[in-house]
């Protein structure tokens, strides 16, 4: 499983830096955060560094009001629901979007898709219309259908299966899944939601489609068990979890929480620097250090012998450390068989549980980014996958 | 109203003699007979004021395709009698008993016999898949255990040729089905979703019933609607089968019976492939 960089606020330099360091990789460009000129410029730079680009149309809500997003040429000026029935307005939108993809040198095309409050025949009909129009407009590169589901829709097995059934007929080679996190949660504590996401991804993979899941945190490392091709993540929480609200004008680029976090990859948890001081005090700070094999030297300063809060550990280092570690964890999470991959996921959870337990004993806690309560959620979700598709995935991998 | 009797049939198909009524219902009647050329045969007749599209489709399917483990059709034709269209099929008489009768007599089947049954049904499903056909009515009543120990699948009366126009009206709430054996997408009349996986579901149910002697959806159900509800909502318990190390056979059957098509084997060929590899490990353990 690969890690794509989900573009968001403050990601420009991170993308250039990490793609250069990795010698390749994929950036999911965000029209909400970039003008068309910026998309063109950054897109070219990424390709020059041997990277690839995708343009997320972010057409989840055609009535979105976010200024930069709606200023793009492809965004319809006066949205009318009749355009979702197909015809010249939709074709024009797709052509404009193709032009933006061309300028970004994107070699795959994300077909726009609407946010589904619930999966029903109406939503599926709109999906089919957009996908079939896109097949006529975009003929020179692979197409990925957007599947943007509400947190509620993902709670229901029947709705997930409706998507899988319908997708059998879609003329696309892959999908770009955008799952709304329920209750605006960063780490999702609903095993049904995570389990159904696994079932959705694996069902689509079994159809031979490539699957990219957007707006992910490290919790989605478990998607390796569904043989997902890539998850996308970024710096701030609003690109590590998805809510349609971010496409409204009210939600601005202001990032309110400026606390610096340290991601401990083997604990699958993040800690604010003052909590690292606690680890320092109890002489267990070194147990939080990321394994060298993950290749992150960005947070080294925290382990230099000084009290963590007294160091110059920066926001930039925090983000790069997170993405570097997650990138390696993604690559390591894919194994040769379903059983090996699930075992690796479970082993990762066992390790995290043991590390977190020791940290908690010493007062080192991740607060709302502590994975302690999420471990069982992911275990349960993996059991859901096992129940739904374990037999099949053991044979088709 | 009795439209057809043995005398009429014999007069219209002179090569037949010794006709004996086997079954009668709806607008169909079935006789056993002796054919001068083919020996023991079954004669199925359907009568209506309009040509019977289903029996025509059945003839078309069985005669145009090479499907193993089915009864051979020798001849067919139509004639009119008292302003009624009568279509008949003369087909191979299978010497043996229906699986339903065997279940009534023996209660359940040995694991070895169930494996042979599954193998035959999966082979048939593979052949149907190649031809784009879905049987849609696999159940113990339509399966014969032949005297030589082989199995035959009968009655393509509601079979569907996926490339041809459906005979069932699209707006019908329920598609043609037998409750308890039909997959949810079949009885819900979701035509676009009916494919060979629909038959794999029924094969799973038949295997489950044969191994346990009880039907997971029918036994204990209040009525037909309750059977359909249970088919959609119930996950039958995993079977404990002697010699089934790691529950491979039990899990395989549950996968066939998944209520969602996406959770069943994607094709009959793959289902057979998985069956073969699973059976390899079972053979020494169950024989």
Burial class (CB in 10 A: 0-12, 13-18, 19+), A27: buried
Give the C-alpha distances (Å, rounded to integers) separating A221 from A217, A272, A326, B21, B192. 8, 22, 8, 66, 35
Best to test chain B binding among A211, A391, A393, A397 (most B CBs inside 10 Å): A391
Question: Between chains, do B193 and A161 touch, taking CB under 8 Å as contact?
Answer: no
Nearest CA in chain A to B257: A388
Q: Are A203 and A223 in contact (CB under 8 A)?
A: no
What is the pLDDT, as a whole number, of residue B26? Answer: 79
Q: Are B145 and B171 in contact (CB under 8 A)?
A: no
pLDDT tens-digit map of B215-272: 999 999 999 999 999 999 998 999 998 888 889 999 999 999 999 999 999 999 999 9
Q: Which chain B residues have a beta carbon less than 8 Å from that of A391? A: 251-252, 254-255
Q: Which of residues 212-271 of B touch A (CB under 8 A)?
A: 251-252, 254-255, 260-263, 265-266, 270
What is the pLDDT, as a whole number, of residue A223? Answer: 98
Confidence band for B174, pLDDT divided at 50, 70 and 90? confident
A and B: number of Cβ contacts within 8 A: 26
Q: Which chain A residues have a beta carbon less than 8 Å from that of B260? A: 161, 164-165
Question: Measured over all CA atoms, what is the biggest interatomic distance in chain A, rounded to whole angstroms?
Answer: 67
Question: Between chains, do B263 and A165 touch, taking CB under 8 Å as contact?
Answer: no
Pairing of strands A269-272, B96-98: unpaired
Could you say which of B193, B261, B263 has the minimum Cβ distance to residue A388?
B263
Could you say which of B193, B252, B263 has the minimum Cβ distance to residue A389?
B263
What is the pLDDT, as a whole number, of residue A79? Answer: 75
Question: Measured over all CA atoms, what is the biggest interatomic distance in chain B, rounded to whole angstroms?
Answer: 63
What is the pLDDT, as a whole number, of residue B287? Answer: 44
Residue B50 has pLDDT above 80, yes or no: no
A394 shares contact with chain B (CB less than 8 Å):
no
What is the pLDDT, as a whole number, of residue A259? Answer: 83
By mean pLDDT, which of A42-51, A203-212, B51-60 is the weakest? B51-60
Question: Between chains, do B255 and A391 touch, taking CB under 8 Å as contact?
Answer: yes
Question: Between chains, do A161 and B251 touch, taking CB under 8 Å as contact?
Answer: no
Cβ contacts of residue B33 below 8 Å, gap of 6+? B9, B16, B17, B18, B19, B20, B40, B41, B42, B43, B90
What is the pLDDT, as a whole number, of residue B165? Answer: 72
What is the pLDDT, as a whole number, of residue B176? Answer: 85
Which active-site residues of B does the annotation give? 137
A169 shares contact with chain B (CB less than 8 Å):
yes
Could you say which of A164, A391, A396 has the minimum Cβ distance to residue B262?
A164
Task: Report which DSSP code applies to A107.
Answer: S
What is the pLDDT, as a whole number, of residue A175? Answer: 98
Question: Between chains, do B262 and A203 touch, taking CB under 8 Å as contact?
Answer: yes
Segment B32-52 mean pLDDT: 88
Cβ contacts of residue A271 below 8 Å, gap of 6+? A261, A262, A264, A279, A288, A364, A365, A366, A369
What is the pLDDT, as a whole number, of residue B189? Answer: 87
Average predicted confidence (pLDDT) for chain B: 90
Segment B160-186 mean pLDDT: 83
Question: Between chains, do B260 and A392 touch, taking CB under 8 Å as contact?
Answer: no
Segment B188-217 mean pLDDT: 95
What is the pLDDT, as a whole number, of residue A246? Answer: 78
pLDDT > 70 in chain B, percent: 94
Residue B143 has pLDDT above 60, yes or no: yes
Residue A293 has pLDDT above 70, yes or no: yes
What is the pLDDT, as a whole number, of residue A257? Answer: 56
Nearest CA in chain B to A208: B266
pLDDT > 70 in chain A, percent: 98
Burial class (CB in 10 A: 0-12, 13-18, 19+), B242: exposed
Task: Considering only residues A143 and A10, tell me which one the structure prediction assigns the higher pLDDT.
Answer: A143
A 10 A CB-CB count for A192 gives 17
| DSSP notation for B213-249 | SS-TTTTT-SSHHHHHHHHHH--PPPP--TT-GGGHH
Average predicted confidence (pLDDT) for chain A: 94
Confidence band for B283, pLDDT divided at 50, 70 and 90? low
């Amino acid at each position: 499983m690969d890690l794509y960089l989900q573009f968001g606020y403050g990601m420009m330099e991170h993308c250039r830096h990490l793609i250069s360091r990795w010698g390749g990789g994929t950036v999911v460009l965000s029209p909400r955060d970039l003008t068309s000129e910026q998309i063109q410029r950054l897109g070219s730079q990424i390709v020059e560094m041997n990277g690839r680009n995708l343009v997320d149309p972010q057409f989840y809500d055609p009535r979105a009001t976010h200024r930069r997003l709606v200023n793009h040429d492809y965004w319809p000026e006066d949205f009318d629901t009749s355009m979702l029935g197909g015809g010249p307005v939709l074709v024009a939108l797709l052509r404009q979007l193709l032009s933006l993809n061309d300028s970004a040198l994107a070699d795959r095309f994300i077909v726009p898709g609407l946010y589904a409050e619930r999966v029903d025949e109406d939503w599926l009909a709109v999906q089919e219309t957009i996908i079939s129009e896109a097949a006529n407009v975009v003929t020179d590169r692979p197409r990925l259908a957007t599947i943007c589901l509400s947190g509620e829709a993902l709670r229901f097995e029947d709705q997930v299966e409706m998507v899988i059934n319908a997708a059998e007929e879609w003329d696309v080679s892959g999908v770009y899944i955008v799952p709304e996190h329920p209750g605006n949660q960063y780490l999702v504590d609903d095993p049904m939601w995570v389990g159904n996401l696994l079932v959705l991804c694996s069902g689509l993979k079994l159809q031979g489609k490539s699957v990219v899941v957007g707006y992910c945190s490290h919790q989605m490392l478990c998607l390796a068990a569904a043989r997902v091709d890539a998850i996308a993540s970024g710096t701030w929480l609003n690109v590590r979890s998805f809510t349609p609200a971010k496409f409204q004008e009210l939600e601005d680029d202001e990032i309110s929480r400026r606390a610096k976090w340290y991601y401990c990859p083997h604990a699958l948890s993040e800690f604010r620097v003052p909590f690292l001081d606690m680890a320092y005090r109890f002489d267990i700070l070194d147990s939080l250090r990321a394994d060298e094999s993950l290749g992150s030297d960005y947070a080294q300063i925290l382990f230099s012998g000084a009290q963590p809060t007294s160091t110059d550990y920066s926001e930039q280092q925090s983000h790069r450390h997170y993405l570097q570690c997650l990138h390696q964890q993604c690559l390591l999470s894919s194994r040769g068989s379903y059983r090996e991959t699930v075992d690796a996921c479970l082993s990762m959870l066992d390790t995290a549980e043991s590390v977190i337990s020791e940290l908690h004993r010493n007062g080192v806690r991740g607060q709302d980014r502590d994975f302690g309560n999420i471990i069982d959620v992911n275990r349960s979700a993996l059991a859901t996958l096992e129940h739904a598709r374990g037999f099949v995935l053991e044979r088709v991998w | 109203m009795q439209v057809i009797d043995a005398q009429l049939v014999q007069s219209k198909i002179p090569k037949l003699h010794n006709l004996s009524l086997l079954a009668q219902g709806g607008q169909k009647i079935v006789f056993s007979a002796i054919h001068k050329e083919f020996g023991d045969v079954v004669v199925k007749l359907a009568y209506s004021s309009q040509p019977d599209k289903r029996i025509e489709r059945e003839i078309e399917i069985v005669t145009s395709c090479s499907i193993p483990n089915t009864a051979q059709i020798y001849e067919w034709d139509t004639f009119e009698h008292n302003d009624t269209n009568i279509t008949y099929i003369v087909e191979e008489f299978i010497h043996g008993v229906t699986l339903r009768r065997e279940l009534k007599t023996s209660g359940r089947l040995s694991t070895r016999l169930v494996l042979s049954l599954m193998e035959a049904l999966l082979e048939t499903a593979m052949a149907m898949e190649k031809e784009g056909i879905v049987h849609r009515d696999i159940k113990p009543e339509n399966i014969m255990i032949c005297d030589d120990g082989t199995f035959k699948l009968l009655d393509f009366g509601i079979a569907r040729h996926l490339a041809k126009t459906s005979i069932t009206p699209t707006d019908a709430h329920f598609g043609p089905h037998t409750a308890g054996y039909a997959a949810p997408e079949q009885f819900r009349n979701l035509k676009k979703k009916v494919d060979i996986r629909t038959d794999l579901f029924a094969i799973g149910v038949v295997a489950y019933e044969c191994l346990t002697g009880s039907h997971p959806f029918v036994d204990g159900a209040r009525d037909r609607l309750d059977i359909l509800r249970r088919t959609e909502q119930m996950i039958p318990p995993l079977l404990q089968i002697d010699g089934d190390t790691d529950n491979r056979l039990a899990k395989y059957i549950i996968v066939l019976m998944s209520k969602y098509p996406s959770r069943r084997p994607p094709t009959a060929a793959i289902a057979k492939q998985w069956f073969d590899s699973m059976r390899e490990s079972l053979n020494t353990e169950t024989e």
